Amino acid sequence: MPHPQPHRVLRRIGHLLVVLGLVGCTLSTGASQPKQASTAALFAPGEVIALVPDRRAAARVRQRGAAAGFTLLEEVPLAALNLHMLRFSYAAPYEGPSAIAALEAADAVVTAGINHAYRVAALPGKSQFDYADALIQWPEGGCRGAVPIGLLDTDLDPQRFAAAETAIVAKSFVRGNDAPPTHGSDVAAVLLNPERLPGARLFSAAVVEGSGRQSGMAGVDSLIEGLDWLAGQGVKVVNISLSGPYNKLLDRSLKTAAQQGMVLVAAVGNDGPEAAPQFPAALDEVIAVTAVDGNREVYRKAVQGAHVDIAAPGVDIAIPNAKSLHFVTGTSIAAPFVTARIASDPQLAGQPVAVIRQVLSQTAEDLGPEGRDDIYGHGLLRAPSVCRK
């Protein structure tokens, strides 16, 4: 069954009242699901989303959904993922669980779920120096970007990258106004730093709303559409510095992308060490990244657990902004260091996630308790010893 693997969410699996997640098959409402954070937010209350494999299934679900009292708001073909997404609204007597159950009962190929919200995982920070590249021993002069990189985040500020020696293609998938471009630009600045990854090619999918349904949040529908676009562009490695609850729609989409050879890297989130696992980082198909400071101490707000794979600099990271620097803290700033590491190695990018985990673990600097642990994962990221210049 395509649930998140038990070892990825150790001791944090529980029964949910609402069925929220699955990849590739249909679950009954009594199935075991990952434990949810109590603050899990809905991106669009009163909406339910269905994923189906083809147009014929979409037509069946449209018809049967209408007969059951659902209103079709949108249908989006996801050509690169070989899926169709249908967004419905519902009203009484339906509630979230019963709406999901009704749509999944309409056809055996349906994966239905709530449109959860995913927030950016960074906080303002202060510092006096830039330590990150020295900490992970990134080669002087940087490593050339070997494969196209994808970004699911806010929009980018074009003025911040006007002089960059890189190719950026951007597209928005929000349904209202784009959120301010600060967070996505900060993450992209880590990826595209000419001293770190010169010559990188970046495809930026803006998925975070600035107004409308949930300002400052990304909906599952936008995330899935952005992922489909990235897959269609031939992107090999995708950075996701967003975190939220488990969602079967996102799970199915990410599993499909991983099966097609896409490498997925995500921040573990900033809800604290006692928080439930955050997604998509806690999915087995995703490399989960936590943050450490210049003393190799874990970021105090980083989520911990059996799903943590690797640690990278993420506290008081110096980010260039026009002619000055500002400093950002959060697991979302740690994730792009790992994405850059993978994207710098053409032999690593495109490998199955198990192979990538093995390579990262073999080269990491062990931190905390000996061996892999729930705080630092396999330890501190180490940059490639040899790379393309």
The pair of three-digit structure tokens given for residue 290, joined into one six-digit string: 């936590």
Question: Which has the closest alpha carbon to 382: 212, 143, 119, 95?
Answer: 143
* Half-sphere exposure at residue 140, Cβ-oriented, CA atoms within 13 angstroms: 0
The pLDDT of residue 141 is 81
Q: What is the pLDDT along the chain (389 residues), one digit of tens a residue?
A: 344 443 343 323 222 222 222 122 222 223 334 544 434 577 778 899 999 999 999 999 999 999 999 999 999 999 999 999 999 999 888 888 899 999 999 899 999 998 888 877 665 554 434 689 889 999 888 888 889 999 999 999 988 887 666 789 999 999 888 899 999 999 999 999 888 888 889 999 999 998 766 778 999 999 999 999 999 999 999 999 999 999 999 999 999 999 999 999 999 999 999 999 999 999 999 999 999 999 999 999 999 999 999 999 999 998 877 667 788 999 999 999 999 999 998 888 889 999 999 999 999 999 999 999 999 999 999 987 767 65
The pLDDT of residue 89 is 92
- The conformation of residue 279, written as its DSSP 8-state character, comes to B
Taken in order of first residue, the domains within the chain and their CATH numbers are: 6-116 (3.30.70), 119-363 (3.40.50.200)
Instruction: Assess contact for 104 and 26: CB atoms under 8 A.
Output: yes
Kindly report whether the peptide bond that precedes residue 34 is cis, defined as omega within 30 degrees of 0. no
Q: What is the pTM of this model?
A: 0.79
Residue 81 CB contacts under 8 Å (≥ 6 apart), including other chains: 224, 227, 228, 231, 253, 256, 257, 260
Residue 49 CB contacts under 8 Å (≥ 6 apart), including other chains: 85, 86, 87, 88, 112, 113, 114, 115, 220, 221, 249
Instruction: Assess contact for 329 and 293: CB atoms under 8 A.
Output: no
The pLDDT of residue 231 is 97
Q: What is the pLDDT of residues 238-256, one digit of tens each?
A: 999 999 999 999 999 999 9
